[in-house]
Amino acid sequence: MRLRAPLTAAALAASLLPALPAAAQIGTVTVRSPRPFGLFLGDRFGATVEIEAADGFVPQAASLPKAGPLTYWLDLTGLSVAAGPLLPNGNRLWRLSLAYQTFYAALDVRRLDIPAFTVTFASDSARATTSATAEVPTWPILVSPLREIQPPPVADPVDYLRPESPVPRRDPGPARALAWAFAALGLAGLALLARDRAWWPLHRRPARAFAAAARQVRRLAARPEDEAAYRAALLALHRGLDRTDGRRVMGEDLADFLGRHPAYGALAQPLGRFFAASRAAFFGRDPAAARRAWPFPDLVATARRLAAAERAGPPAGNGGTP
């Protein structure tokens, strides 16, 4: 019994150690600011808080100030925490980098105090968790007005007045003439483009027979499953060939047609497929087979290429019959 009593007292003392005040675990707290003066409305500035804490104590994120408005004239825009070196006294240096922005509209040079805050440090040991708090004090900044409130005093108040600045009068004639000239050039360019592309109202010309056929084929291609639309598209391309050559062009006449119109020589193979599909669609026993062998996309592409070759080649001299 004599040996057990001292052991019980020592165990009781050890259990009470984590609950003892931990203020001694926090050392000095230093606030450093590179420019706490000459600040204007909207300026951003920073500060560094250095806190000495016993090794093993770590700042708790929940106790750090949150970014956002601190007062009606001050916002905290950023905060970062970094562990510094281990000091000779056994403490570790922690650095808090804070970024502020002031919105104080000063009427004169004014001193303002940045609000104080508290940072909680905690150390997790095998027995229990010990915490300590570091008080970061307020520190001042000096804000300045953007401009003077009053002008310098003068003997005669009339001296404050300034004459009105004369507004130069400019002649709008040259600018108006230049605008009309550019508008005329733009309309002329648009007319030339419409003629080249055979747009309305210039599309009803014998020299642009394939352009009209290509437009009709594109409209009919909106019904790719309609056999009647397919036959009408083939007929539109037939009429384009007839108007271009000034006569009826059959499959047997393709070589003579290309000889008379060399601008379409590169389209000999697609035109051969066109005549084969036309023969199967109008005279064959299975018109649907023609549409499967030479579908609408090929028909549209051939009509577009014929229209492009028509624009690039020399205009036809005869109108032909529809």
Instruction: Report whether pLDDT(321) > 50.
Output: no
- Greater pLDDT, 76 or 125: 76
pLDDT for res 305: 92
Alpha helix segments (H runs only) across the chain: 4-16, 173-197, 209-220, 227-245, 254-260, 268-283, 287-293, 296-312
Determine phi and psi for 143, rounding to 5 degrees.
-105, 150
The string of pLDDT tens digits covering residues 175-191 is 999 999 999 999 999 98
DSSP track, 116-141: PEEEEEEEE-SS-EEEEEEEE--EEE
Our measurement of the distance from residue 286's CA atom to the centroid of its chain's CA atoms, rounded to an integer in Å, reads 55
Nearest to 60 by CA among 137, 119, 125, 128: 119
DSSP one-letter code for 177:
H
CB 46 within 8 A of CB 99: yes
Instruction: Report whether pLDDT(261) > 80.
Output: yes
The string of pLDDT tens digits covering residues 207-258 is 578 888 899 999 998 888 888 898 999 999 999 999 888 899 998 989 999 9
Please give the model's pTM, rounded to 2 decimal places. Answer: 0.42
pLDDT for res 66: 94
The string of pLDDT tens digits covering residues 263-297 is 898 999 999 999 999 988 888 877 788 888 889 89
The mean per-residue pLDDT over the stretch 104-130 comes to 86
Q: Which residue bears the tokens 């579908």?
A: 295
pLDDT for res 19: 38
Instruction: Report whether pLDDT(200) > 50.
Output: yes
Q: How crowded is residue 267: how many other Cβ atoms within 10 Å of its Cβ?
A: 16
The mean per-residue pLDDT over the stretch 15-19 comes to 38
The mean per-residue pLDDT over the stretch 77-96 comes to 92
Query: SS3 for 113?
Result: strand
Instruction: Report whether pLDDT(1) > 60.
Output: no
Cα(234)–Cα(305) distance, integer angstroms? 15
Torsion sign, CA atoms 150, 156, 157, 161: negative
Our measurement of the distance from residue 95's CA atom to the centroid of its chain's CA atoms, rounded to an integer in Å, reads 37
